[in-house]
Amino acid sequence: MKYRTDEDRYIRTTNFSLAIFLFAKGGEISGVNSLDHGIKEIVFNRTDKLDELIFLYENYAYDVKREDFSISYPMVEWARKFLLEKIKDRK
């Protein structure tokens, strides 16, 4: 999985699907960083809830019957658009 922790304060990811999931589930974005070759890294404030969500994503991403993993389509689309705007603003 493409994410890393930083000083126990942040979780950083270049995985856009993971970022959508974390944000749609209530993750708080701290910022967006530009990396080499135009890659963007989305930075979240680390919480116990965020650690649990990453565990869910890594282990149950394809288990659609898990209620704790499910997100409504409108929420996913809203999160996707919001994150794309954040990335666009970072250029």
Would you list the DSSP string of 18-47? HHHHHHHTTPPEEEEEE-GGG-EEEEEE--
pLDDT of residue 44: 95
**Burial grade of 69 (CB within 10 A; 0-12, 13-18, 19 or more):** middle
CATH number attached to the domain at 1-62: 3.30.70
Q: At what angle do helices 16-24 and 48-60 cross, to 10 degrees?
A: 130
Q: What pLDDT does 6 receive?
A: 62
The single-letter code of the amino acid at 30 is S
Per-residue pLDDT tens digits for 44-89: 999 999 999 998 888 887 776 777 777 889 999 999 999 999 998 8
